[in-house]
Amino acid sequence: MKTIIFKTASTYLLPLLILFSVFILLRGHYLPGGGFVGGLIASIAFVIHSFANGLEQTKSLIKFHPGFLMPIGLCIALLSGAAPLLVGQSFMTGLWFEDPLPVIGMVGSALFFDTGVYLVVIGVTLTIIFTISETL
Amino acid sequence: MNNPYIILPVIFQLFTAVLLLFFWFRVNAQRLITIICSLISLGIAIWLLKEVYQNGILTMQAGGWKAPFGITFVADVFSATMVLLTAISGMAVAIFSTGSIRNARLKFGYFPILNFLLMGLNGAFLTGDIFNLYVWFEIIIIASFVLITIGGEKAQIEGAIKYVTMNLLASAIFLTAIAILYGMAGSLNMADLSEQVAQIENRGLVNVVAILFLVGFGIKSAIFPLYFWLPASYHTPPPAISAIFGGLLTKVGVYALLRIFTLIFIPDAFLSNLLIVLAAMTILSGGLGAILQVNMRKIFSYLIVCHIGFMIAGLGIYTELALVGAIFYLIHDIIVKTNLFLVSGLIFKLKGTLNIEKLGGIYKKYPKFSLLMAIPLFSLVGIPPLSGFWAKLFLIQGSYLEGQYTLIGFILLGSFLTLWVIAKVWSEVFWKDAVNLPKKINVKYFRELKPLKQWAMVIPIVLLAATSLYIGLAAEHIILLSKQIAAELIDPSAYIEAVLGSKTTMP
Amino acid sequence: MELLLVILIGLLYASGIFMMLRRSMVKLIIGLILLGNGANMLIFLLGRIVKGKPPIIESSAKMLTEIYADPVPQALILTAIVISFGLQSFAIILVKRAYKITDTDDLDELNTTDEIYE
């Protein structure tokens, strides 16, 4: 699939799709979206790039092994889930900052949990796809 | 009573696993972290049991959503005991793994996955929501899939195919049962289901769902017609992995059966008889299978099947006394089975084989080890002061009072078959004269290991042997504990009230 | 709609079990996937199907007064799909590895585990 049209398109699609995935991640709490879908979109961005330019190109673009995103994401999700325990609330209870931040809106522990999920999904999906396409 | 900290055993295991993921390539750091964290989680488990024993049933509503709408976590004495047993065998296996598992396997994330497995077990024991139980079961099986295939030897992969297929099938059946249950009762909270299911008039459909649950959990806990995957797969992975599988994975199925069939589906005459027949057949087939085998780990695999039958028998009789027996047996079995597989691992490192016909002379060469290994072997049989005896006493007493004389026959037969098998193992492996074995190149023998690794393999066996001696010699503590658990299981009103609070009218 | 789903679920279960009973490893995995999909559809059906009534409370109201679609089964199905995605991808890789090692697709040839006497 190394046509010039696809190659050129993928260079522009990559940043667009990643931006879109962040948008999906941030609108997730009250509207359709969230970390899981956002993570899948972000990993699709990289998969399209690897289809167009080859696996090695994408790997050198990412710089580190995507598997490292898994512990980082899990760590963020776990900490945001366990944070309510420090104030004597149940696990996973939503804690919210008083005032909304500009652009992002209300920020709470749910956002951090979703961010964790987002990173884990990118890490897992890219690891699976890279591993399978390497061994094929 | 509400206590948000009862989820700690789950969170801490997850924390350990995540921490270990950061040290993916640094195997020695992983060893150290695993041992330290397993000690801490043992402390947490002891704290949980103490807390539950003093304050009664503790609950936690995840995310602050009220039961029956949110996911509830419940720690009653049964759950807390199981969490403690998980922590004990988890610690023993973690220490044993630091000595026995090769670095090549450790580099594929053995320790993080082991901790994910323990997290799943703790979650399954603590949850009070039937769909959440399904999710924990899936976490357990996906972790166990990785553990059983790690290393990728031919036998391992073939065993894994059988193991994976049966577990996926069990999950599909479990999910089907949940679907029908949700369609009937409109709830997923187990305490709420207990009340809703009792009001359903179509008892036939309720029994069908009960049977679906029985089949689903029956595959996982290896009861009579559904056990064939177990002896085909449990002897293939390294001994430390077999130990955690044999000790805990089938028992989590038994735990789920005990929980579901005392809380949601109270056995009627039909279910009760079915369970008793299945128990008798499980005892018989497991015992007879064990006689035929010559591989030590395969013998122990069949004995797992045989002894699952004792616990199902206690559930089938369904009196408080019989349940005391079943729960005592469960407690004893987790510790002893874990220890037996660790012992088989140590014997393999000593001799380089597990074929009991080729083994021999261990008593002459290693008298102290033999004495140590005798404790789990004879606890399993139930020689009077040791731990297996008391459980069988309660089971036999329970079935005698209910007039189940045939079942008593099967329980005694199962005990004799176990005695025969263990006596055979003892005389072949320990008393028989040593056979000259050719030295194997790909086996790292015990005497070639560094002293630290040697100790890492002996200490967990000593710890578990001491625990099983404690269960046998200080049986009154365990009997007290089992009696309280059985009383809570027979009369679940305290459980329901702890979860749902005072009676609320449903909209 | 219900009748159609009932027939579909029956077909999925039946074909799933039929495929599992074949001797090929690949067909075994396909059977497991079909069975899992059947179970998901069953949850969807037994959660009662309500058309065009999302469980969203208007900002002026405090609670739902009319009949509404139950959101729980959809959450359950989503969870089950994600879980089965992980399990099935593992199973597929396992079968691929097993095919490489044993050089056969026939389940009856997998006898190594019965022949270990070591």
Which chain A residues touch C93 with a CB distance below 8 Å? Answer: 132
Distance CA B296, CA B355 (A): 6
- Closest-CA residue of A relative to C56 is A30
Indicate the pTM of the whole model.
0.94
When pLDDT is averaged across residues B11-24 and rounded to a whole number, the result is 94
When pLDDT is averaged across residues B99-125 and rounded to a whole number, the result is 92
> What pLDDT, on the 0 to 100 scale, is given for residue A78?
93
Predicted confidence (pLDDT) per residue in A83-118, tens digit: 888 888 888 888 887 777 777 777 888 889 999 999
Domain range enclosing A73: 4-135
C75 part of contact set with chain A, CB < 8 Å: no
DSSP notation for B168-237: HHHHHHHHHHHHHHHHHH---BHHHHHHHHHH-S-HHHHHHHHHHHHHHHHHHHT-GGG-THHHHHTTSS
Candidates B131, B183, B233; nearest CB to C113 = B233
- Closest-CA residue of A relative to C85 is A125
Q: Which pLDDT band holds residue A133 (cuts at 50, 70, 90)?
A: confident
In terms of residues, how long is chain A?
Answer: 136
With beta carbons less than 8 A apart as the criterion, state whether B460 and B93 touch: yes
Q: Which pLDDT band holds residue B505 (cuts at 50, 70, 90)?
A: very low
CB contact under 8 A, A132 and C93: yes
Domain tally for chain A?
A: 1
* pLDDT exceeds 70 at position B208: yes
Predicted confidence (pLDDT) per residue in A8-46, tens digit: 998 899 999 999 999 999 887 778 888 889 999 999 999
Predicted confidence (pLDDT) per residue in B340-398, tens digit: 999 999 999 988 888 888 888 889 989 999 999 999 999 998 888 888 888 999 999 99
Predicted confidence (pLDDT) per residue in B392-419, tens digit: 999 999 999 998 899 999 999 999 999 9
Instruction: Please name the CATH architecture into which domain C2-111 falls.
Output: Orthogonal Bundle (1.10)
Furthest-apart CA atoms within chain A: distance in Å: 58
Predicted confidence (pLDDT) per residue in B25-58, tens digit: 889 999 999 999 999 999 999 999 999 999 999 9
With beta carbons less than 8 A apart as the criterion, state whether A48 and A14 touch: yes
A108 part of contact set with chain B, CB < 8 Å: no
> What pLDDT, on the 0 to 100 scale, is given for residue B80?
95
* pLDDT exceeds 90 at position B445: no
- Which range is least confidently modeled, B75-84, B294-303, B435-444, C15-24? B435-444
Q: Which chains touch B (3 or more CB pairs under 8 A)?
A: A, C
Q: Give kind and range of the element (H or E) at residue B61.
A: strand B58-61
> What pLDDT, on the 0 to 100 scale, is given for residue B506?
46
Distance CA B426, CA B73 (A): 44
B464 or A129, which is more confident? B464
Candidates A71, A85, A94; nearest CB to B4 = A85
